[in-house]
Structure 1
C-alpha cells in the first residue's frame, strides 16, 4: 500500500521517502512479531536502500560491507526473506545482498501505468551494480524468477559474471514464434483491463492472508515459510484492526509477453561463460516440456566454464523450506 501511494502521487524527495521508510520499518517490526515462530538465523543483516528514479530498491545486506556481496534475487511474488534460512547456514565470512525486486517487499513500485517486464528488472540489477561500483566479477544467486534473471544477466554481461546459482528454474519459459506474435495485442488489452482499478487492495485477517499466500505458491510453501515471506511482503492495516494487505504490486499478476522463442533462449545460453550451479527440486513441476530445460543445460555445459547440476528433494521453495538440503552444495560451489 505504501509503495502504491508513492508511485501514484509521484513522491520523489528524500524527505518524503524517509517518512515512508519510517512507517515501513514500524510495520515490518510489527509483522516480525506477528508473523513467524520459525527460528531466525543468528547472522546479522542490515537493511539497505538503493535510490532509483522512481523511489528505491530495498535489500538486506548480510556479512561484511567491506567486500562485494553475492547478489541474491527472489522469485515471483516473493521477497528478500526467501533467502534468510539458507544464508543463515552459509559461511559467515561471505557477504550477501538479497534485494526486493520492484513492486515486491519493501521496494518501490514502478510508476503508475508502467508495465512490469523482465527487461526492466534486468536494468534494475544493472543499476545496483553501477550504484555500488562493484569492480570484481559478480556472483548471482536466484530462485525461480530470480534464477531466470541470473541466466539472463549472465548472458547479457558474460564477461562480468563469475558464477551464478539457480534454484528450480533454469531458463526463461519459451513460446512458439507464431503464438508469440499472435498474442501480442491480446496481452496488451488484458493488461489494460486488469489495471483499470489500480487502487484495489483488499485486506484480510492474518490467518486468511497466510492461507492466500500459501495457496498462491501452489502450496509449495510451508506455513512457517509463508509467514517469513509475509514479514516483508505484507503491511498491517491502518483502518481495520487485525487485518493485513499484500505489499506486492497487483500489476505483476498479468504476464505481458515475458516469454521468449526457444531459439532466442538457445542463443542466450551460448553466451554464458561463467560457472553455473543449477539445482532442480524433485517435487517441483516443470512449467514446460523438460526437453527444453535439458537442451539449455546441455548448451551451458558445452559453452560455460563449468556446469554443476543437482536434483534435490523439495518443493518449488525447497531452498526456503529445507535449506539444509542445499546449503552444503551451495557452500562447496562458492568455495571451489
Structure 2
C-alpha cells in the first residue's frame, strides 16, 4: 500500500492504496474502500490488506482529524454528516464509478448513510461492528444539545493543556491504547504508529481533541429506519462475539433492511484486528461469488 492524498474542497486527507488514482484501473478486481472508526486510522485494516491485496484494488483514508489527515478548521467541529460529504468527495476522485465500502464502527455508519444517499456509487456494504446511525428518543433532544455545547466549552478551557500532554515513549502510547481497547499490544502497533508523532524525544497523539466533543444532535429511530430501509445493495455485517450486543439483536427486522446477512466471529469491537484471517476470508467470500 502506497501513501496517497485526497484534496477535498476544504481539507486534505491522507490515505493508502495499492493502485494509482491518476490512471484507469485496467484489471477487473473489485475496489474496496475502507473507513475506520472513531479515533482510529486507516492502519486499523493493515492486517486485512496483507490478505486481500492479491485479489482486490484497495484504498483507505484517514478521516479528518485522524491519523495523517488534516484537522478541520479552528471554527469547526466534527459533525457526523460532514463525514458523508468527505466520503463523497473521495469517491468522486477515484478512477471508478462504484466501490464496495468496508467500514468499522463509525466508518460503518458513515458507509450506510452514504449508500442510502448515493446508491449508484456503492456495490456492496461490509460493516464491521457498526451498522446504523446512533439514535435517541426525541424527548432527549434538549439534553443532547446542552451536553454537546458543554463539551465544547470544556474543550476550549482545556485545549492548550491537552495539546501539551506528552508520553515518554512509543511503548507508553502503545500500552495506553492497548488498555483502552482491551487488545494485545501486537494488534495495535501499526495503528499507534500512524496515530502518534515524536517531537524532541516525547510522543504525542496526532488526533484532533475536538473529536471528543459530544454530538449536538442524534437521529430518532424512525429516521435511522428510513435510511437503512432505503439501501438496496447487499449488507454484510461482521460482528464480534464480545462486541456491541445491540448489533446482534435482529437488526434486519429493527431497521427494515432489504438484503442482510451477518456473521459472528470470535473477538470484541476490534474483531478484525483479533481475527484478521477469519475476517478477510469473510470479506472475500462475500464479494467474490457475487462478482460476474
Q: Decide whether the 8 Å contact of 1:105 with 1:247 is kept in 2.
A: yes
Structure 1 residue 96: deviation in Å? 1.0
Aligned to 1:264: 223
1:46 aligns with 2:32: no
For 1:175-324, list aligned pairs within 5 A.
175-199=136-160, 200-201=162-163, 202-206=165-169, 207-217=171-181, 219=182, 221-237=183-199, 239=200, 241=201, 243-257=202-216, 259-286=218-245, 291=249, 293=251, 295-296=253-254, 299-300=256-257, 303=258, 306-324=259-277
Gaps of 5+ in 1: 1-44
Structure 1 residue 294: deviation in Å? 5.2
Structure 1 residue 329: deviation in Å? 1.3
Query: For 1:159, what is the secondary structure of its paired residue?
Result: helix
TM-score by length of 2: 0.89
Q: Decide whether the 8 Å contact of 2:129 with 2:247 is kept in 1.
A: no
1:75 aligns with 2:37: yes
User: For the residues of structure 1 that align with 2:53 and 2:197, how far apart are their CA atoms?
Assistant: 32
User: For the residues of structure 2 that align with 1:119 and 1:106, how far apart are their CA atoms?
Assistant: 21
Q: Decide whether the 8 Å contact of 1:145 with 1:169 is kept in 2.
A: yes
Aligned to 2:50: 88
Summarize deviations over 1:32-59 as a string: whole Å, max 9, x none: xxxxxxxxxxxxx110011124441000
1:144 aligns with 2:97: no
User: For the residues of structure 1 that align with 2:137 and 2:175, how far apart are their CA atoms?
Assistant: 35
Q: Decide whether the 8 Å contact of 1:64 with 1:94 is kept in 2.
A: no
Structure 1 residue 291: deviation in Å? 4.4
Gaps of 5+ in 2: none
Summarize deviations over 1:109-156 as a string: whole Å, max 9, x none: 000031111111111001112233632x22100111111111111111
TM-score by length of 1: 0.78
Q: Decide whether the 8 Å contact of 1:76 with 1:145 is kept in 2.
A: yes
Q: Decide whether the 8 Å contact of 2:141 with 2:217 is kept in 1.
A: no
Query: For 1:257, what is the secondary structure of its paired residue?
Result: coil
User: For the residues of structure 1 that align with 2:268 and 2:136, how far apart are their CA atoms?
Assistant: 25
Structure 1 residue 91: deviation in Å? 5.0
Q: Decide whether the 8 Å contact of 1:46 with 1:61 is kept in 2.
A: yes
Which of 136, 156, 161 lines up with 2:122 in the alignment?
161
Structure 1 residue 157: deviation in Å? 1.4
Structure 1 residue 255: deviation in Å? 2.2
Structure 1 residue 164: deviation in Å? 0.9
User: For the residues of structure 1 that align with 2:53 and 2:203, how far apart are their CA atoms?
Assistant: 35
Q: Decide whether the 8 Å contact of 2:252 with 2:260 is kept in 1.
A: no
Q: 1:138 to 1:166 in 2, by over 3 A?
A: same
Query: For 2:5, what is the secondary structure of its paired residue?
Result: strand
Aligned to 1:40: none
Aligned to 1:124: 86
Aligned to 2:287: 334
Q: 1:134 to 1:289 in 2, by over 3 A?
A: closer
